[in-house]
């Protein structure tokens, strides 16, 4: 039976580290366009207590989204040992394309996936580049699409990247801008025929899209400071609505994905969840525990590797970066062993939710 197996991973973290102290001299405004009276020290302290974010990464102004996607892709190719001309599809998840650092305008032509193919110097005309615009859930949705293509025998090897340079699309007058960061991750999925009855690779997934009243919980808009006109593309986030939606919908979605495979939460060795807010992530997993009537005081520490404290929210890059760090033994004490089952899940703009259960093949 054909299974979609991860054969290579890679990531890129910008070298520029932005600590919370960077924002001490900023002017923050509220949703009514009025300057917030609280001191920046208090704003930053409250922000850290909720999100746990201490620092994040920003790209240099000369580096584009497609550049860092290409770097992560090269690393994934190298670790996979697959010849680049054997890649049948490139699926690049992102939300803003290449953002011009002067005009702050998003550039989607050529597509990011096509630019990644160009940077890899792939000459194969049958290697088709797709862009996946699906909010922070885009990389997982790209993996889901890749699995369907591989199982349908339309492809043998697929490169899936997730990359974003959110530092170019944040409103400097919005305190929520401290959440966002830059980065890229990539995975190579290959179709491998297993004779064993035991399931390996991608074994289940699901997606859910609520696009009615929830559509504008996360969107773009003018700056909170009416005098700031440098960019008309600024992330606007209704944090309270997103938090309420996440706690209501995400645990149920994750439980359904697990239950459909006849597994239990206790069978899952790691949960790789999209990270924008540590408080929200902990609350999601605690509710998932409650749905199973399962109690383990050390469960979160064992199963939930976290990077948000040092890397912030890099959107579609978060989960593939997290995965690569663990597989490359760079996120101690977290490890993934042959035969381990992991759950990957994300929540993103629109609102979109998705998740994948993946089992790593046992060594021969």
pLDDT in tens, 72-94: 999 999 999 999 999 999 999 99
Is residue 165 domain-shared with residue 217, that is, in the same domain?
Answer: no
Query: Within this chain, do residues 213 and 155 fall inside the same structural domain, yes or no?
Result: no
Beta strands in 123-247 (DSSP E): 128-132, 157-165, 182-193, 201-209, 218-221, 234-237
Q: What is the pLDDT of residue 364?
A: 61
136 and 218 co-located in one domain: no
The CA distance from 88 to 158, in Å, is 6
What pLDDT, on a 0 to 100 scale, did the predictor assign at position 13?
A: 97
Q: Quick check: 133 and 95 in contact, CB under 8 A?
A: yes
How much is the pLDDT for 175?
95
Query: The domain that contains 50 carries what CATH number?
Result: 3.40.47.10
Q: What is the mean pLDDT of the chain?
A: 94
Are 362 and 199 in contact by the 8 Å Cβ rule? The answer is: no
332 and 213 together in one domain: yes
Is residue 44 domain-resident?
yes
Q: How far apart are CA 206 and CA 169, in angstroms?
A: 29
Instruction: Judge whether 324 lies within some domain.
Output: yes
Q: Which domain holds residue 275?
A: 201-359
Task: Lowest mean pLDDT of 135-144, 159-168, 290-299, 300-309, name the range.
Answer: 290-299
- Using one digit for the tens of pLDDT, what is the confidence trace for 101-141? 888 888 899 999 999 999 999 999 999 999 999 999 999 99
pLDDT at 23: 96
CA dist 184 and 318 (Å) reads 8
Lowest mean pLDDT among 100-104, 240-244, 326-330: 100-104
Strand 157-165 and strand 89-93: pairing? parallel
Structural domain ending residue among the three candidates 193, 221, 248: 193
Whether 212 and 233 map to the same domain: the answer is: yes
The rounded distance, in Å, linking the Cα atoms of 38 and 51 is 19
Count: domains in the chain: 2
Q: What is the pTM of this model?
A: 0.95
- Reduced to 3 states, what is the DSSP secondary structure of residue 85? helix
Q: How many C-beta neighbours within 10 Å does residue 240 have?
A: 9
Instruction: Phi first, then psi: give them for residue 206, nearest 5 degrees.
Output: -160, 160
Contact call for residues 183 and 336 (beta carbons, < 8 A) = no
pLDDT digits (tens, 9 = 90+) for 159-216: 999 999 999 999 999 999 999 999 999 999 999 987 767 789 999 999 999 999 999 8
Q: Is 42 exposed, middle or buried (0-12, 13-18, 19+ CB in 10 A)?
A: exposed
């Amino acid at each position: 039976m054909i299974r979609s197996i991860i054969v290579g991973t890679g990531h890129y973290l910008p070298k520029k580290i932005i600590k919370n102290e960077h924002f001490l001299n900023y002017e923050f405004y509220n949703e009514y366009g009025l300057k917030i009276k609280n001191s920046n020290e208090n704003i930053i302290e409250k922000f850290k207590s909720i999100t746990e974010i201490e620092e994040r990464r920003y790209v240099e102004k000369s580096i584009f989204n497609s550049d860092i996607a290409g770097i992560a892709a090269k690393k994934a190719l190298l670790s996979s040992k697959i010849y680049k001309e054997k890649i049948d599809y490139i699926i690049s998840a992102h939300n803003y394309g290449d953002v011009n650092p002067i005009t702050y305008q998003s550039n989607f032509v050529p597509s990011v996936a096509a630019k990644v193919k160009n940077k890899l110097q792939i000459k194969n005309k049958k290697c088709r580049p797709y862009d996946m615009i699906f909010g922070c859930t885009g990389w997982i949705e790209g993996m889901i699409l890749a699995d369907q293509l591989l199982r349908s025998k339309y492809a043998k090897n697929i490169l899936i990247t997730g990359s974003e340079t959110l530092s170019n699309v944040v409103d400097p007058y919005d305190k929520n801008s401290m959440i966002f960061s830059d980065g890229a991750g990539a995975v190579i999925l290959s179709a491998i025929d297993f004779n064993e009855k035991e399931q390996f690779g991608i074994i289940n997934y699901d997606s859910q899209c609520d696009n009615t009243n929830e559509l504008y919980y996360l969107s773009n808009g003018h700056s909170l400071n009416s005098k700031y006109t440098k960019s008309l593309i600024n992330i606007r986030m209704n944090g309270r609505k997103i938090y309420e939606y996440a706690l209501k919908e995400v645990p149920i979605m994750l439980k359904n994905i697990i239950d459909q495979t006849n597994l239990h939460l206790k069978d899952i060795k790691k949960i790789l969840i999209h990270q924008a807010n540590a408080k929200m992530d902990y609350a999601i997993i605690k509710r998932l525990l409650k749905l199973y009537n399962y109690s383990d005081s050390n469960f979160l520490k064992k199963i939930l590797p976290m990077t948000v404290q040092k890397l912030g929210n890099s959107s579609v890059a978060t989960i593939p970066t997290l995965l690569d760090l663990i597989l490359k033994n760079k996120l101690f004490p977290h490890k993934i062993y042959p035969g381990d089952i992991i759950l990957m899940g994300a929540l993103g703009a629109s609102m979109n939710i998705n998740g994948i259960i993946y089992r790593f093949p046992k060594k021969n």
